[in-house]
Amino acid sequence: MSKGKIRIAVFPVAGRGTRFFPVTKVSPKEMLPIVDKPLIQYAVEEAIAAGAKKLIFITGNSQDVLKSHFENNLELEKALIQSGKESLLSLVKEIIPSDIKCVYINQKKPLGLGHAVLCAQEAVGNEPFFVHLADDLISGDVPCLVQMRSHFEMHKVSIVGVEHIDLSESEKYGIVGTEKNNGVLQVTKIIEKPLPKDAPSNLAVVGRYILKPEIFSKLAKTSKGVGNEIQLTDGISSLIQEQPVHALPFDGIRYDCGSKLGYLRATIEYGIKHPDVGSRLSEYIQRLK
């Protein structure tokens, strides 16, 4: 491992996506488009920007469609050339640069996010790694994982990305209790989906993590928790008994694209910024008011 660098990103994409039924009955929610790119493509771009060289996808029934999206399709490329549409080639060719390795691992049953991360153990080995949940789309000047990597390079500890939420929404998130230590937030408590009255704060973990490999032995011992699933939150709760974990409030806007409203917000806001359709979409929205 190159010193202090994080080279591996894990993308758990094996959830059922029940909040988006029926569209996610067959298609994975990570293939939902925000304007013209699927969520998972934004995720991969963010991880590569943060230095990831090996991408591990933990898939359910989504494996084939995901793989096909990222692999080159020579037949399609040939057809574009033959029909004089070379300008479109860059959109479909080498979506993932050729020096980046992709690994696909099947999570046979959606036993929970903690279990999905545990499925990556062998492929990750003994190094720190990113975990990126593609349905949390985050926009900002500096990609969220880049901000987290900078923090990791200084402190060399596991990190959870957090944001302030309205306490009434605590049951949707893992919530952390923290202690300020030399200007950083050290996690002292982490609880999955607590009632507002039991939440240690209004700081919610969103879908970005840097985890040290010791998390795997914790997850292997984690039994089913909230929702009868093996929760990553519970694994992190064991980890903080042994080593520091930091919470990092990142700069950026998060869209919960696993929910219909969050997804529509992202679609509109990314649409308004899109070079092809942005100005016409803005005009259209003005007319609706």
Long-range contacts, stretch 67-72, CB < 8 angstroms, 24+ apart: 67/102, 67/104, 69/31, 69/38, 69/40, 69/41, 69/95, 70/44, 70/95, 70/96, 70/102
Spell out the residues 6+ positions from residue 223 whose beta carbon is closer than 8 angstroms to its own: 230
CB 177 within 8 A of CB 201: yes
Residue selected from 9, 12, 48, 159 as contacting ligand UTP according to rule CB under 6 A:
12
Task: Point out which span in 10-18, 150-158, 192-200, 268-276 binds ligand UTP (CB under 6 A).
Answer: 10-18
Within 13 Å and on the Cβ side, how many CA atoms surround 12?
28
CB 219 within 8 A of CB 230: yes
Q: Please, which residue, 58 or 281, has the CB nearer to ligand UTP? A: 58
Residue selected from 6, 9, 10, 13 as contacting ligand UTP according to rule CB under 6 A:
13
Task: Point out which span in 17-25, 69-77, 240-248, 272-280 binds ligand UTP (CB under 6 A).
Answer: 17-25
Min separation Cβ 15 and ligand UTP, Å: 2
Within 13 Å and on the Cβ side, how many CA atoms surround 91?
9
Q: Please, which residue, 18 or 150, has the CB nearer to ligand UTP? A: 18
Widest distance between CA atoms in the chain: 63
Site for ligand UTP in 206-265 (CB under 6 A): 258
Site for ligand UTP in 56-75 (CB under 6 A): 58
Task: Please identify the residue of the shown chain whose CB is closest to the bound ligand UTP.
Answer: 15
Q: What are phi and psi of 16, to 5 degrees?
A: -80, -25
Min separation Cβ 77 and ligand UTP, Å: 30
Min separation Cβ 117 and ligand UTP, Å: 8
* Interface residue list for ligand UTP (CB under 6 A): 12-20, 58, 107, 110-113, 115-116, 133, 135, 258
